[in-house]
């Protein structure tokens, strides 16, 4: 009688942590040595999604869904870049009738453009013409 070993690949859990964002998925099961499918992008108000990373603080360890393989249970973290907005204020001076336009760029992580427009429009002497993200 000959006995043969029968092997089964280990399965691992890959957890996706939106790292402050919103995300519809959470984890998938993947066999050892296989790639994991890239999930849908998470969202986060005031931020741009940059990719999935093995370490939430490491900006060089982006996961390559086409080439990196799973070898154990792991968590992939969403990486975010703070959006910045350009706010332009036009002021008209009655003595000359000329408009002076000034602008400033600033990271604004807690203000959605609609909220920013509302806040600026109600402050004294500010009439918001446009807000551009970028």
* For the chain, domain boundaries: 11-82, 84-133
Q: What is the pTM of this model?
A: 0.64
CB-based contacts of 38: which residues, under 8 Å, 6+ apart? Answer: 52, 65
Q: Give 57-68 pLDDT, tens digit per residue.
A: 887 789 999 999
Mean pLDDT of all residues in 8-36:
94
Q: What's the pLDDT score for residue 99?
A: 54
Q: What's the pLDDT score for residue 128?
A: 47
Mean pLDDT of all residues in 34-46:
95
Task: Say yes or no to pLDDT of 69 above 80.
Answer: yes
Mean pLDDT of all residues in 122-128:
47
CB-based contacts of 98: which residues, under 8 Å, 6+ apart? Answer: 92
Q: What is the 3-state secondary structure (H, E, C) of 90-130?
A: EEECCCCCCEEEEEEEEECCCCCHHHHHHHHHHCCCCCEEE
Q: How far apart are CA 69 and CA 126, in angstroms?
A: 54
Residue 71's nearest CA partner among 6, 25, 14, 26 is: 14
Mean pLDDT of all residues in 68-78:
96
Looking at every residue in the chain, the average pLDDT score rounds to 78
Out of 3.90.950.10, 3.10.129.10, 3.90.550.10, 2.60.40.4270, the CATH code matching 11-82 is 2.60.40.4270
């Amino acid at each position: 009688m000959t006995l043969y070993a029968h092997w089964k690949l280990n399965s691992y859990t890959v957890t996706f942590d939106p790292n402050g964002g919103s995300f519809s998925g959470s984890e998938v099961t993947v066999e050892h040595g296989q790639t994991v499918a890239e999930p849908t992008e998470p969202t986060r108000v005031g931020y741009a999604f940059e990719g999935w990373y093995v370490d939430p603080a490491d900006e060089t360890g982006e996961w390559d869904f086409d080439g990196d393989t799973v070898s154990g249970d792991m968590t992939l973290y969403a990486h975010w870049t703070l959006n910045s907005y350009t706010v332009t204020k036009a002021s008209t001076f009655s003595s000359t009738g000329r408009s002076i336009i000034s602008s400033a760029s600033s990271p604004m992580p807690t203000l959605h453009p609609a909220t920013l427009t509302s806040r600026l429009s109600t402050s004294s002497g500010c009439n918001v013409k446009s807000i551009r993200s970028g």
